[in-house]
């Protein structure tokens, strides 16, 4: 694996994964792989807003997977604040 810049998303994600390692389960391997791929893609194309959105969502889910189940109110509020917003549906509302 090539050396990564200290400030890269890949390097930051690897530090996060190491910190969460004891709390991630075997079923989280695909999520870790997804986050790694997105981190590398964002580092390669930092101007791509769609990649940033997907990467941010993947990191949020990874953090939730690594949470020990008793997140305090501040953690819940933080995770809610960084979650990718759900867009409203396009079109006319249904008539009653």
Angle at CA of residue 68, ends 62 and 8, nearest 5°:
35
Please tell me the number of Cα atoms within 13 Å of 16 on its side-chain side.
20
In a domain, 1, yes or no: no
Q: List pLDDT tens digits, range 29-76.
A: 999 999 999 999 999 999 999 999 999 999 999 998 887 655 566 766
Mean pLDDT of 7-11: 91
Report if pTM > 0.75: no
Q: Which residue in 70, 1, 80 sits closest to 36, CA to CA?
A: 1
In a domain, 30, yes or no: yes
Q: What's the domain range around 45? A: 9-82
Mean pLDDT of 78-82: 69
How deeply is 57 buried, as exposed, middle or buried, from its count of CB atoms within 10 A (0-12, 13-18, 19+)? middle
Residue 21, pLDDT above cutoff 70: yes
**Domain total in the chain:** 1
In a domain, 90, yes or no: no
Angle at CA of residue 24, ends 22 and 28, nearest 5°:
155
* pLDDT band of 1, cuts 50, 70, 90: very low
């Amino acid at each position: 694996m090539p050396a990564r810049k200290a400030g890269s998303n890949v390097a930051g994600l690897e530090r996060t994964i190491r910190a969460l390692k004891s709390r991630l389960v075997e079923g989280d391997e695909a999520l870790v792989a997804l986050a790694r791929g997105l981190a590398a893609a964002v580092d390669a194309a930092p101007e791509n807003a769609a990649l940033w959105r997907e990467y941010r969502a993947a990191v949020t889910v990874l953090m939730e997977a690594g949470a020990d189940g008793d997140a305090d109110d501040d953690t819940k509020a933080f995770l809610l604040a960084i979650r990718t917003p759900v867009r409203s549906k396009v079109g006319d509302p249904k008539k009653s």
